[in-house]
Structure 1
Amino acid sequence: MRIAVDLNRCQGYAQCAYLAHKDFRLTGQEALTYEPNPDDERRLQVERAAAACPVQAIVIDRLDGAKGSATS
């Protein structure tokens, strides 16, 4: 699994950090850092975090040929 976050779209709501704190972190007030290749065992948390993003800034590439976002 691979994660991409559109940092221009991200508004720092931190819903992703709350739901998948091992993969998404806020540094300072609004700077998001994230693990671009999280373990597959955390897939459910990452997908929930992406779905919770109010501005849909997180895209998940499932590495099986299918691409998805929070809404797929």
Structure 2
Amino acid sequence: MEAARLKAATAARTSGARPTSPLSAAPEAGGGADGASELAWLCRTAYAFVHSPVVEGVQPATGTAPSSEGARTT
């Protein structure tokens, strides 16, 4: 779920829109009680971000027109 949330937020940010879906709600408790379990959780999340068909299907849900707020100007 965290990988899908990150994918939606990244897509919204790239398009300049603000996400308005439930995916933008507070993140689930992830990680672990120690460094090793935290690293394992981060690795699973990163793998899902790149390889999960569920995450691939996530579209940014936006309810407003694109915004220039926070947009990079290069």
TM range (shorter): under 0.3
Tell me which protein shows more helix as a share of its residues: 2
The two structures have a TM-score, normalised by structure 1, of: 0.28
Which has the higher Rg, Structure 1 or Structure 2? 2
Q: Which has the higher contact order (CA 8 A, sep 6+)?
A: 2
